[in-house]
Structure 1
Amino acid sequence: MAVQTAQKSSPSPADKMLIRAWLHSKSENTRRAYERFALALLAHAGKPLADVTLPDLQNWSDSLGGAASSRRLAMAAVKSLTAFGAETEMLTRNVGQALRLDRERDSLHERILSQVQVATLIDMEKCPRRRALLRLLYVMGLRISEACRLTWRDVTRRQQGGVASVFGKGNKTRPVEIPARLFKELVALRVDTEPKAPLVPGHNGGPLSHDAAHRIVKRAGKRAGLPSSFSAHWLRHAHVSHSLDRGAHVHAVQRSVGHASLATTTRYAHVQDGDGSGKFLD
């Protein structure tokens, strides 16, 4: 989505303080995106946030290009900002409260790869380091930022494989199992024996950056003939969906991937052959 951040004037000190406080506890990726949305709104309105009106928000919404889901994310971010400002009394009112977001059709199924597609994606990657990253994202169901952050200090060896202490969304830490086969692949990559060494290193042996990991995933997707919209998060979707399909307990999957709500996890459950309620009526 094209969001213009060129500003007619610099944000006021009060707006800078509000945005900084609003973003304080959010993840790095969320902070970058949400800050861009906030600055774009201020640039479009040409006034301090305290003076922004509902028509200003609606006009900015109408000016946004790109996919409907991207526009909805931008408006949801701004609604979050104005709600936070009102709750902390940094704003006198929550002007975004009256803004209604259109409901989005659930298209999750369009982003869930089959098990054959995932196997093809991984098998076509011949570089052991890049292959390990793809396997890590899929087998452990990690977000790309979580995978890049993992070091050997975060790993506890078990008789079969290991357990990683994953620091994720919402500043929460959760234990995630590393199956034996994947654990062996990661050990084979290890050159630096320091505890701070990354689980999946970059090409120079140092930490793998988010951008570098993203490029590895996108190239693998292109090689496997996947849609251009394919991203690392699709492998996380696949992890949840395939785990449930293979009989994993929904609560175990929820804990493993760090979903705050069980409802989020159950969205991935598929109707298996013979399980549909329609058979009782036909």
Structure 2
Amino acid sequence: MSLAISPQARDALEGWIAAAAALRGNAPATLSAYRGDVVEFIAFMTAHRAEPQGLAALSRIEVRDMRAWLAGLRSGGVGSRSVARKLSAVKAFYRWLAEREGFEPTAVLTTRAPRFQKKLPRPMTEDAAREMIGTVETQADGWIAARDAAVVTLLYGCGLRMSEALGLTGASVPLAEALRIVGKGGKERVVPVLPVARTAVDRYVALCPFDLGAEDPLFRGARGGPLNARLVRKATERARLQLGLPSSATPHAFRHSFATHLLASGGDLRAIQDLLGHASLSTTQAYTSVDGAHLMRVYEDTHPKAR
């Protein structure tokens, strides 16, 4: 599809990607997805309008062109969630391009994404989370078992993303009472570390046969290289099958469970937002699924007018 893009449009696209990487700190996988979405859009417009899509042509995109693109995606079997993601990438590119080239991007920016039902995360129960951690440790022997248990304990005990846990270096140990984590977009946050998490990591460090230098990855694969997230996912998959848990019991479910169980214990939603590193409170709300009866009990126990 890249052959359908003019050199000027390709240069503009790479300029936008470079700007997004520098200013927003997007992960390489995210930037790759953005690039692919915009390439597909420009390629479609090249065929749809039967002309090369240079910068001048891109500035003349109309509402009917956008409708044709969306219709083409849907007829091609692209789901509403994916369509919304692609449209978001195209809009971000157009905002940057319009400011740089000085044209009016209204036709693109006013295009509405199809509605879709947000898929809420499914956290594990507290008992299931504890059983999963214990069972993960039985999926291997020696230091590898201790390693896997340490990783999932950090996911649940600190609400870390997998990439954040695997991004820790030898300089992090021994773990302090709090960790400074650099999350998505280069955003920093401080998360408290429970004693059980420190103990799990200490046990792994004591058993690990490799030198854990300050600049080296903390969690290692069997041959000493950085631990691949796929191996953690495999260990948790075996554990959930052994326990008879649903397919939603994934490594990322530990993070969902961390947030949900904190809220269920009366935790403040804003504080949980900070712990998770979410830019938007609405994102945190999607991570938490506490039944109305519990929220009512918390309200009655804590609200001044209810006492």
TM-score after normalising by structure 2: 0.74
Contact kept in structure 1, 2:83 and 2:114, CA below 8 Å: no
1:239 to partner: Cα distance: 1.2
Q: 1:99 to 1:215 in 2, by over 3 A?
A: farther
1:256 to partner: Cα distance: 1.2
Q: Aligned equivalents of 1:248 and 1:29: distance in 2? A: 33
Question: Could you report, residue by residue, the CA deviation over 1:258-281 in whole angstroms, capped at 9, with x for unpaired residues?
Answer: 1223343344262234818xx9xx
**In structure 1, what is the equivalent of residue 275 of structure 2?**
256
1:119 to partner: Cα distance: 3.0
Higher helix share: 2
266-275 or 194-203, which moves further after superposition?
Answer: 266-275
**Which residues in structure 2 correspond to 1:1-282 (within 5 Å)?**
6-10=1-5, 12=7, 13-24=11-22, 25=24, 26-46=26-46, 47-48=53-54, 51-52=57-58, 53=61, 54-64=63-73, 65-86=77-98, 88-90=99-101, 92-94=103-105, 95-108=107-120, 110-125=121-136, 126=138, 127-154=145-172, 157-158=175-176, 162-190=177-205, 191=208, 192-217=211-236, 220-221=239-240, 224-225=243-244, 228=247, 231-267=250-286, 268=288, 270=290, 271-273=292-294, 275=296
1:17 maps to a residue whose letter is: G
1:249 maps to a residue whose letter is: D
Q: Aligned equivalents of 2:13 and 2:128: distance in 1? A: 47
Structure 2: give runs of 5+ residues left out of the alignment.
47-52, 139-144, 301-307
Contact kept in structure 2, 1:148 and 1:213, CA below 8 Å: no
SS at match of 1:174: strand
Moved runs in structure 1, 4+ residues, more than 6 A? none
Q: Aligned equivalents of 1:263 and 1:75: distance in 2? A: 20
Structure 1: give runs of 5+ residues left out of the alignment.
1-5
Contact kept in structure 2, 1:138 and 1:238, CA below 8 Å: yes
Identity of aligned residues (%): 27
Q: Aligned equivalents of 1:208 and 1:240: distance in 2? A: 25
Q: Aligned equivalents of 2:29 and 2:269: distance in 1? A: 27
Q: Aligned equivalents of 1:143 and 1:112: distance in 2? A: 14
SS at match of 1:102: coil
State which structure, 1 or 2, has the greater radius of gyration over its C-alpha atoms. 2
Q: 1:20 to 1:206 in 2, by over 3 A?
A: same
Q: 1:219 to 1:74 in 2, by over 3 A?
A: farther
2:103 maps to a residue whose letter is: T
Q: How many residues align?
A: 268
TM-score after normalising by structure 1: 0.79
Pairwise CA RMSD: 3.1
Q: Aligned equivalents of 1:253 and 1:111: distance in 2? A: 17
1:226 to partner: Cα distance: 5.0
